[in-house]
Homo-oligomer: A and B are copies of this chain.
């Protein structure tokens, strides 16, 4: 880092909150994606005012700034692909307020998701978005990526729970958006423009979240299907049953086989496993909804329908589903985890298409995900040291994105665009929409200092 800039940054955050150490810079060079690039330095701001001062320096000197939480993103949005300053927000990790009367909480971006849930638990409240990375990911990252999770179909995503933000704009101005009131239509909805903007428009330094009373009853059932078509019909018909499950998860055959080869879970080796949860405040409510779902399953030739009789049984079923990512990640040296999302009626088409893509490119693709909102996770397992495989993976992901768009879906349901999907943006978004997104980026960040090189915003 240029000495003058370095001294300016140290003057803001102090010597101990500035780093150029190789260990830190290597850590900051990657996230949970396959991308990597080293920054020039890292800083740990302690306050919104420090963030503002850092951005003023960076904007004056036209140096990239990459806001960073836990680095669990799967699309490269935290990778400093053009170098610059990593703005590590992990020191701003205070829960500033939990206010049950007002049904809200105010937090800093560095708060870890699970710590927040644990802080809410004694009051019987919870924060409904539920990213699978919650043990480590930070709420700032959740907001920057509009994090989803298993329960999106019933409870929505992060976007639906952000009431207000404090944002530092690229030129260092501090701005508030939204309101502490549950409802507001005062002016443009700037709050949601920042949610999911992947750190490219401003740095969020304080977040006011809506929180909800946690349901106190739940019911879990596992159904297995020998035939993909039957399973697909079952999923579609659940939508006709008059209820929305709190979770409707699937594991495809490839995922099941891989889990069985690498664990002692002994899952049934079928075309598809469906795991359902219904919830409510009373046992009757959860069971009524589950009966509706089971009724649908029974009409579609299931091999087995297994209702969890105890919480322990339910936990074991969810354990199998939740183990998928980690088990699959260990099988080969490398993997890419996608999150294409389609309208629910197209899930079978998507699953079949994925099988074809796997065959065509001779790749192992294990698929699981959130069928309740059409959000599937094809995980492509490969040997990243084999250039031939790397090339085939690239071709397969391109085919996968084209397939999702053909099926009226989207490139990404919850992982974001980042670097990984940037070159596919024009598949999904028309010319006018791309022009508007790029124009917005230029409007907010004319010097392109905030997280540059992401989301195809620079063409």
Question: What string of 1s and 0s marks CB contacts (under 8 Å) between A405-438 and chain B?
Answer: 0001111111111000100010011101101110
Whether the Cβ atoms of B181 and A281 lie closer than 8 Å is no
Whether the Cβ atoms of A429 and B187 lie closer than 8 Å is yes
Whether the Cβ atoms of A102 and B190 lie closer than 8 Å is no
Name A415's closest neighbour in chain B (CB-CB): B185
Whether the Cβ atoms of A443 and B432 lie closer than 8 Å is no
Chain B residues whose CB sits within 8 angstroms of the CB of A201 once the complex forms: 188
Whether the Cβ atoms of A183 and B374 lie closer than 8 Å is yes
Known: A103-B344, A409-B181. A169 touches B432 (CB 8 A): yes
Chain B residues whose CB sits within 8 angstroms of the CB of A342 once the complex forms: 181
Known: A213-B243, A284-B282, A344-B102. A428 touches B175 (CB 8 A): no
Whether the Cβ atoms of B410 and A186 lie closer than 8 Å is yes
For chain A, give the interface size range. 35 or more
Name A174's closest neighbour in chain B (CB-CB): B432
Could you tell me the distance between the alpha carbons of A240 and B123 in the complex, rounded to whole angstroms? 8
Could you tell me the distance between the alpha carbons of A343 and B163 in the complex, rounded to whole angstroms? 11
Count of this chain's copies in the oligomeric assembly: 2
In the complex, A24 has a CB within 8 A of chain B: no
In the complex, A104 has a CB within 8 A of chain B: yes
Chain B residues whose CB sits within 8 angstroms of the CB of A108 once the complex forms: none
Chain B residues whose CB sits within 8 angstroms of the CB of A145 once the complex forms: 185
Could you tell me the distance between the alpha carbons of A416 and B417 in the complex, rounded to whole angstroms? 33
Known: A187-B437, A244-B213, A440-B443. A101 touches B182 (CB 8 A): no
In the complex, A157 has a CB within 8 A of chain B: yes
Chain B residues whose CB sits within 8 angstroms of the CB of A410 once the complex forms: 179, 181, 183-184, 186
- Chain B nearest CB, measured from A166 CB (Å): 10
Whether the Cβ atoms of B101 and A179 lie closer than 8 Å is no
CB<8 Å pairs between A and B, sample of 8: A102-B345, A148-B183, A173-B435, A174-B432, A189-B197, A190-B437, A280-B285, A285-B285
Known contacts A160-B160, A187-B428; 4 further A-B pairs (Cβ under 8 A): A180-B409, A186-B425, A242-B281, A281-B285
